[in-house]
Structure 1
């Protein structure tokens, strides 16, 4: 379940995107997405997955809240165009064109449109990553407990 702060910040982000006139491909991921889809989790931040170009557009739109500008970065397991923002005290992360390591190479970027579902919430349609995709992604990252939680919910 989302707190009032989560709801207010999510509606603010939705409004900024909708009113921008920009063509932004985005979807919620992580605990806020899980909660919106009915998983019993307590979200602490808002994670937004985008394509690479949309990460920089969204970063520009959220510039007044910027903690870390969108830039390409990562570690041995995952990399993306990543930025961090603080909106009304809520941490918001943007991740564009996420790639996961497959050991000796990087996996192809998954087209975001292919892994999105839409949740009707507060009279708006919020894009979220499919839970089945999320479970698979967490398994690849070695986060087995979170993957199991999602698989148990789906079953």
Structure 2
């Protein structure tokens, strides 16, 4: 596991995993916590969870005691989803159901990430994470300056994992 992940985030991940285990909710970690768990040199300060619309509403019910903003449909220039915010162990947790990105004039679904998670073991628990290749494609497609170092670091991690480039 990455040394970059704060113990509070690990505690929050353990609680989330224990609450969602057996719930039937399809979910996957995304964003910086997913990157760090897969060896990318980033320091996460929150937890991003991708799920579908039904999953977002169910997670809201399961994590009701930690709710900051209830799950509801929200849209910005770059994203739309059934979005809710929670706080666990002092860590911000964002849940995004049926997340879509606005790229090249159209809304693109990220639901395929729920079908192809990579499973990472952390302190005895199994966490589904979004594949590095999928996250790299999203960051590149969005083209935001703030993501340029993440793009570079994901490429570095993929190169370490696959030194032949095959």
Change (3 A) 1:52 1:112: farther
Q: Which residue of 2 aligns with 1:153?
A: 157
- Counterpart-to-counterpart distance in 1, 2:80 and 2:156: 28
Q: Which residue of 1 aligns with 2:133?
A: 132
Partner of 2:94: 93
For structure 1, which runs of at least 5 residues remain unmatched after alignment?
A: none
The residue number in structure 1 matching 2:48 is 47
Provide TM-score, normalisation by structure 2. 0.85
Task: Give the equivalent residue in structure 1 for 2:164.
Answer: none
Could you tell me how far apart the structure 1 residues matched to 2:141 and 2:54 are? Answer: 25
Structure 2: state its 5+ residue gaps. Answer: 160-166
Q: Which moved more, 1:48-57 or 1:95-104?
A: 95-104
Count how many residue pairs are aligned between Structure 1 and Structure 2. Answer: 153
- Which residue in 2 is equivalent to 1:35? 36
Shift of 1:109: 4.6
User: In 2, distance between residues paired with 1:9 and 1:15?
Assistant: 10
Q: Partner of 1:22: helix, strand, or coil? A: coil
Q: Following the alignment from structure 1 to structure 2, what is the Cα–Cα distance between the partners of residues 147 and 81? A: 26
Deviates more, 1:34-43 or 1:126-135: 34-43
Q: Which residue of 2 aligns with 1:11?
A: 14
Deviation for aligned residue 1:151: 1.8
